[in-house]
A = this chain, B = another copy of it.
């Protein structure tokens, strides 16, 4: 077993750990451990909201979640010899939910996880204009599989991965992030949901940073929500077991952090709250390519997916084009195209007996493929979303036969 360089007492919040992690990006957050190139090591992870979401049949916790506390990350890990301009090679050797006896049953990751749809006024999501209210599905982990009492009729193998992983930014890079995101916010400062999230000291967690530095650093430290040059919250489902990732290094020691473990996720993590969320463990190996950033002309991370992704071969794929729901034609807009493809998939799943919310939750959780079709055929981009049909326990293909009336229950919703 590799050494655990970041053990967590899962009965306590990340804020209460003896050596806490962090929930903001800043180069000055102190490392929690030091490793050497060639080392393998383990880290424990909290579920990304730090345990705010419960294994229950209502979605009030999702509606009321405190997003200022997110994401609680494990790290940073200092890699000896890493210097700005190097490439940090990270092998994701394994990861999974909480091992037996390491976490209380009520914590996501203790044999269960959740997918949520945020309320439009507290988080939102890809289809928030269509599904503005909070909902939730609880998934039970049965070995490699997930099933849900809130989305019956499906069982799928998890394509587990860290939603968020990357090295600390340099001070310059951090400043650039703040600059450009502030500029974006200024284009529509009152938008709901917000266009971007500026630094906010509320509930900021900065590891073992001395209290004397807190206010200054918290005022500069970037939120963890968006993916950026360093990777970060990329939410790429294929960063799974066995993946090798090449990260640009910006600071001495690289300062690698990660979190937001997902038992499974569909491309896009369209529900935002999101994937199948869990706490757990991750085993990593690290190495260095000196001067690799310039050598390979890198701007963002590069990776080679692992060899044990679920091997589904049959997909039902839905097309979408870059025309808005109201008929407005957008120019080459892959976001609109993918949204329309997802909406098409949801409408289809509704004809099989699911609620729209169940279908939305399923697209966020199952290993669905979101692909770019033509992105040059002016003015319309085409995108596709593909659902592996083997995950259903009934036939989902179109046919001449009459539609079967199925009672597929419903998701957990808000109460009171």
Contact = CB atoms under 8 A, between A and B. Distances in A.
Contacts of A311: 307-309, 311, 313
A384 B87 CA distance: 19
A289 B399 contact: yes
Interface stretch (A15-23, A50-58, A73-81, A268-276): A268-276
A132 interface: no
A416 interface: no
Interface string A1-39: 110100000000000000000000000000000000000
A280 B325 CA distance: 37
Complex copy number for this chain: 4
Interface string A361-382: 0000000011111111111111
A145 to B, nearest CB: 7
Contact residue range for chain A?
A: 35 or more
A209 interface: no
B1 A111 contact: yes
Interface in A211-238: 225-229, 231, 233-236, 238
A290 interface: yes
A197 interface: yes
Interface in A48-104: 87, 89, 91-94, 99-100
A370 B157 CA distance: 23
Contacts of A315: 304-305
Nearest 7 interchain pairs by C-beta: A93-B143, A235-B374, A94-B143, A334-B334, A370-B372, A313-B313, A226-B380
Contacts of A154: none
Contact of A100 (B1, B93, B225, B227): B1
A94 B142 CA distance: 8
B180 A328 contact: yes
Interface string A159-180: 0000100000000000010011
A351 interface: yes
A1 B97 CA distance: 10
Given A296-B351, A300-B341, 16 more contacts: A4-B100, A91-B142, A93-B142, A180-B327, A183-B328, A197-B378, A233-B374, A235-B374, A236-B373, A236-B374, A268-B373, A300-B340, A302-B319, A302-B344, A304-B317, A311-B313
A143 B298 CA distance: 28
Interface in A333-377: 333-335, 337-338, 340-341, 344, 347-348, 350-351, 369-377
Nearest to A297: B347
B314 A194 contact: no
Nearest to A95: B143
Given A180-B328, A268-B376, A269-B376, A318 B302 contact: yes
Contact of A376 (B1, B270, B290, B350): B270
Contacts of A233: 374, 377
